């Protein structure tokens, strides 16, 4: 069904493009939908979307791969994937509490491209370039601006910092998207990081397996498997993303021994209902991706139309817990504004305590007592 749709889309809008070209990630990158003309060719835009694309200024470009565009139902103006990729004029609205740099990353940046918020781990922003730009991007202030183009001199300074900070146990490569780099450049970077004795494990934070699964080639995974322990944190948004192409990509990664965790941003009207979330989390498990984090949407400027109340996130976690395996339940996290770091938003299952007896509420709402001497 989905396969038919992707093929039909290629034949309709990319006539003359062979299946082989379509499967080439560099072709996908070159043919990204990036402007009004490109959008209008594929999707009848609403007046609001057209105006938003025209008015858009500054950072956070419009851009997504033809492969990802094929997942959008063009006839639905509230299509979930469409909402995350096509600008709306709501992006220009500033709401209370919103910031350009909601996580306070810039003040925690000891050298360009490195964020050191937690004692034993660093975030290494290796490029500002993404295969697709999410409208709710936490780093909308800098992605796609060309400030963090892959630059070995900048990387050298970051590597020097990591090498001289022996407390750094864990390096998370992000950006932008590290998988936008060529195999050779990524190889170079991983090899340098891997050679630092106190760096115990490496992670790649990426959305590419979901939006451009063609990037996960046998050559790429052959190179990656030399740098174990290497983990992937993959940004997934909606169950519709779980196509045969994505299954192939995840299989290759899992077969190369790369543990994968998912990161999903809770988004209003996109994935904030129990059925959608359940289907995404269970679908990920089938692809050997462990649901890792469900993120409360950061208060980045112009994101109010995406944000849901924390209470609805807690309800979603409750709807998963007890219903299905714990493997399918992510941790629900708030990234505290201003550099406070991630804080778990766990639903409260403890109803109260009387002397040595704690009362808990289970998944179907019944109360149970547990003897728990102080």
Ligand X SMILES: *Cc1c(COP(=O)(O)O)cnc(C)c1O
* Residue 45 found at the interface with ligand X (CB under 6 A): no
Long-range contacts of range 145-152, CB-CB < 8 Å, 24 or more positions apart?
A: 145/59, 148/112, 148/113, 148/175, 148/176, 150/126, 150/181, 150/185, 152/188
Q: Tokens 């992605």 label which residue? A: 143
Binding flags for ligand X, 63-102, as an x/- string (CB under 6 A): ----------------------------------------
Contact with ligand X (CB under 6 A) among 28, 84, 117, 296:
117
Question: Which residue is associated with the tokens 């919103």?
Answer: 98
Span from 50-58, 62-70, 117-125, 185-193 in contact with ligand X (CB under 6 A): 117-125
The residues pairing with 118 across neighbouring beta strands, listed in sequence order, are 121
- What dihedral angle (degrees, nearest 10) is formed by the CA atoms of 125, 126, 132, 133? 30
Task: Give least dist CB 247 to ligand X, A.
Answer: 24
**Contact between 345 and 333 (Cβ < 8 Å):** yes
Stretch of 33-41, 114-122, 139-147, 304-312 lying at the interface with ligand X (CB under 6 A) = 114-122
Q: Is 342 in the site for ligand X (CB under 6 A)?
A: yes
Choose the binding region for ligand X from 111-119, 189-197, 241-249, 298-306 (rule: CB under 6 A): 111-119
Instruction: Tell the smallest beta-carbon distance from residue 122 to ligand X (Å).
Output: 6
Rounded Cα distance between 284 and 247, Å, is 9
CB neighbours of 282 closer than 8 A, spacing ≥ 6? 324, 328
Q: Of 123, 137, 221, 329, which one interacts with ligand X (CB under 6 A)?
A: 123
Closest CA to 262 of 307, 308, 219, 209: 209
Q: Which CB sits closer to ligand X, 88 or 123?
A: 123
Is 115 a binding residue for ligand X by CB under 6 A? The answer is yes
Report the C-alpha gap between 374 and 58 in whole angstroms.
Answer: 57
φ and ψ at 259, to 5 degrees? -65, 135
CB of 14 to ligand X, least distance (A): 37
Which DSSP symbol is given to 99? Answer: B
The helix/strand/coil state of 103 is coil
Provide the 10 A C-beta neighbour count for residue 188.
Answer: 14
Nearer to ligand X, 65 or 117 (CB): 117
Nearer to ligand X, 123 or 212 (CB): 123
Residues between 220 and 279 that touch ligand X (CB under 6 A): none
From 40-48, 83-91, 116-124, 215-223, give the range in contact with ligand X by CB under 6 A: 116-124
Name which position in 2, 5, 50, 121 contacts ligand X (CB under 6 A): 121
By CB under 6 A, the count of residues binding ligand X is 7
Which H helix or E strand runs over 304? none
Least Å from the CB of residue 59 to ligand X: 19
- Cα–Cα distance measured from residue 77 to residue 216, given in angstroms and rounded to the nearest whole number: 31
Residue 161, classed as helix, strand or coil, is: helix
Q: Is the CB of 92 or the CB of 118 nearer to ligand X?
A: 118
Q: Smallest distance, Å, CB 333 to ligand X?
A: 8
H helices within 45-109, ranges in order? Answer: 47-55, 66-69, 80-85
> Which range touches ligand X (CB under 6 A), out of 53-61, 70-78, 113-121, 176-184?
113-121
Binding mask 153-182 for ligand X (x = CB under 6 A): -------------------x----------
Residue 118 vs 188, nearer CB to ligand X: 118
Residues at the contact surface with ligand X, assessed by CB under 6 A: 115, 117-118, 121, 123, 172, 342
């Amino acid at each position: 069904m989905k396969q038919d749709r992707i093929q039909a889309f290629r034949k309709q809008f990319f006539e003359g493009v062979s299946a082989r070209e379509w499967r080439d990630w560099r072709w996908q990158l070159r043919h990204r939908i990036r402007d009004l003309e490109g959008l209008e060719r594929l999707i009848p835009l609403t007046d609001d979307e057209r105006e938003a694309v025209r008015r858009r200024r500054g950072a956070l470009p419009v851009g997504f791969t033809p492969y990802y565009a094929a997942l959008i139902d063009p006839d639905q103006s509230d299509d979930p994937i469409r909402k995350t990729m096509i600008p709306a004029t709501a992006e220009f609205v500033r709401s209370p509490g919103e910031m350009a740099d909601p996580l306070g990353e810039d003040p925690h940046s000891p050298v360009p491209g490195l964020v050191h918020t937690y004692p034993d781990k660093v975030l290494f922003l290796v490029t500002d370039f993404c295969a697709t730009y999410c409208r709710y991007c936490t780093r909308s202030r800098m992605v796609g601006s060309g400030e963090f183009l892959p630059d070995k001199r900048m990387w050298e300074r970051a590597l020097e910092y990591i090498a001289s900070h022996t407390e750094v146990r864990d390096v998370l490569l992000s950006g932008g998207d590290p998988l936008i780099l060529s195999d050779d450049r990524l190889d170079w970077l991983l090899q340098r990081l891997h050679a630092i004795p106190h760096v115990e494990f490496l992670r790649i934070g990426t959305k590419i397996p979901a939006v451009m699964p063609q990037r996960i080639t046998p050559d790429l995974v052959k190179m990656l498997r030399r740098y174990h322990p290497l983990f992937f944190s993959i940004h997934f948004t909606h169950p519709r993303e779980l196509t045969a192409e994505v299954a192939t990509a995840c299989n290759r990664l899992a077969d190369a021994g790369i543990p994968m965790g998912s990161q999903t941003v809770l988004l209003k009207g996109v994935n904030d209902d129990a059925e959608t979330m359940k289907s995404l989390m269970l679908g990920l498990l089938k692809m050997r991706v462990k649901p890792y984090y469900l993120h409360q949407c950061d208060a980045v400027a112009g994101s109010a139309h995406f944000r849901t109340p924390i209470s609805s996130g807690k309800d979603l976690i409750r709807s998963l817990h007890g219903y299905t395996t714990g493997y399918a339940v992510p941790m629900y996290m708030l990234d505290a504004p201003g550099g406070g770091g991630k804080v778990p938003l766990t639903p409260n299952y403890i109803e109260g305590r009387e002397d040595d007896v704690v009362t808990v509420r289970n998944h179907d709402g019944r109360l149970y007592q547990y003897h728990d001497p102080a």
